[in-house]
Amino acid sequence: VVLGDDAVELSGGITAFGVRIPLQMTLEPQVQDNGDLLLVQRDISLGSLSLPNDKVLKYIDRYYKTPEWVTINPDEESIYVAVTQMELENNFHVEVEQFDLSNDNLSFKLYIPNDTFGL
């Protein structure tokens, strides 16, 4: 995963018929009101093959393991990253506040339980 000038770029590959095919996906980040992040697919390339975006996402969803707080939505051509559902050590809680790549402005809220500080 690379944070580009205005998009999130996902690189990897898919193995089909014993051959590794390069995968490049560009996603537009959208902060949700609850502090989660929606990544809307802009474009996708799978080697030199021309395949429907939703089919590639269905394949990724079916054959690649993602954390339970990541949901791939092939029909909507998006990936939902429920950062508010991530289980972090010490019961910390994270929310995305801003994810503005073009202005290099990424901000998050981090909630730390009082007992972490002995309060």
Q: Which tens digit of pLDDT belongs to each residue from 5-45? A: 899 998 888 787 898 889 888 999 999 999 999 999 988 88
Half-sphere exposure of 9 (CA within 13 A, CB side): 8
The whole model's pTM is what?
Answer: 0.83
At 44, the amino acid letter reads: I
Question: Does residue 113 or residue 29 have the better pLDDT?
Answer: 29
User: What is the mean pLDDT of the segment spanning 59-88?
Assistant: 92
Confidence (pLDDT) at 46: 80
- Short-list 66, 29, 68, 21, CA closest to 47: 21
User: Average pLDDT of 102-118?
Assistant: 86
pLDDT of 61 strictly over 80:
yes
Check residue 36 and report its DSSP letter.
-
Structure tokens at 40: 């809307």
55-64 CB contacts, 8 Å cutoff, 24+ apart: 56/14, 56/23, 59/14, 60/14, 63/14
For 108, the domain range is 2-117
Q: How many domains would you assign to the chain?
A: 1
